[in-house]
Amino acid sequence: MGGDGSCYISKQVKAETAALGFRVKSGWAAVVLFTGPVGSPVLRDNRMIDLSDPQFPDTRQPHHATFGQLETDAKKINRRTDIVHRVTKQSVTKLLAEHQRKGYAITHASLVVGSQLDPATIANPHVRAHALEGELFRSALEQALNAHKIRTAILLERDAFANAAVELEKSTDDVRRMIEELGRFTDAPWRVDQKLAALGAWLALRHKPALGKRGER
């Protein structure tokens, strides 16, 4: 660990290019690490990380009040938001430190999200609360990764496989099949969220931060 809190790779370990993919959820994220080659990626890690504090359940849905209503108390929102940023920063720092100790050189990551709706355009308070939380967890994760010089791209879940097929020059069926088969190499859960994170890692392995329309760094 560098003196400024950044991670570095030991000179004794030959760095291997790797990429991260995240499926961002409310309060947590599924994370997958891939190494190359791009045409046949290798699954190196599959886990979940916290983006909220389990000791403070309200940080998992910081913009929700009781009975699913939109939280309007600014003090509560600010406290929860601060915790989200702190926990996310800690989770990312720990994740990167572990991977970099193993010799992985990570410079790119993709974040798969459910939507990128502007919360200000949403009239329904409950739906707006979810949009605000999606925006919060995505931006907190982006900022934490960018602080470690990792470039990020945003992928929308609904378009992820179709866009990946174009970028990877494969059919959508082939992309789905390869992602499915990679699940054989992990003992951890390999469900929809993990598969989407894997798709993000695969695209990030191409070192193309321009994959996302918004949130590129």
CATH no. for residue 58?
Answer: 3.30.420.10
Crossing angle, helix 74-101 and helix 125-146, to 10 degrees?
40
pLDDT-derived band at 1, boundaries 50, 70, 90 = very low
Q: What share of the chain is helix, strand, coil (3-state, %, to 5)?
A: 45, 20, 35
φ, ψ at 23 (rounded to 5°)? -105, 105
Average pLDDT over residues 133-153: 98
Encode pLDDT of 30-39 as tens digits: 999 999 999 9
Residues in the chain, total: 217
- 5 within some domain: no
- 95 within some domain: yes
- 149 within some domain: yes
- 53 within some domain: yes
With a cut of 70, say whether residue 7 has pLDDT above it: no
Domain count across the chain: 1
With a cut of 50, say whether residue 87 has pLDDT above it: yes
- 126 within some domain: yes
Residue type (1 letter), 7: C
- 38 within some domain: yes
The percent of residues above 70 in pLDDT, for the chain, comes to: 89
CA angle in degrees (0–180, nearest 5) for 153-111-216: 20
- 188 within some domain: yes
Per DSSP, what are the bridge partners of residue 34? 19, 43
State residue 66's pLDDT score: 87
State residue 30's pLDDT score: 99
Domain span holding position 28: 16-211
State residue 24's pLDDT score: 99
Closest CA to 142 of 113, 162, 114: 113
Closest CA to 108 of 208, 32, 24: 208
CA angle in degrees (0–180, nearest 5) for 21-26-28: 50
- 8 within some domain: no
The residues, any chain, with a CB within 8 Å of residue 213's CB and separated by 6 or more, are: 154
With a cut of 70, say whether residue 210 has pLDDT above it: no
DSSP string across 50-95: ESS-TTSGGGSSTTB-GGGPBP--HHHHHHHHHHHHHHHHHHHHHH
Residue type (1 letter), 86: R
With a cut of 50, say whether residue 144 has pLDDT above it: yes
State residue 35's pLDDT score: 96
The residues, any chain, with a CB within 8 Å of residue 196's CB and separated by 6 or more, are: 21, 23, 30, 112, 157, 160
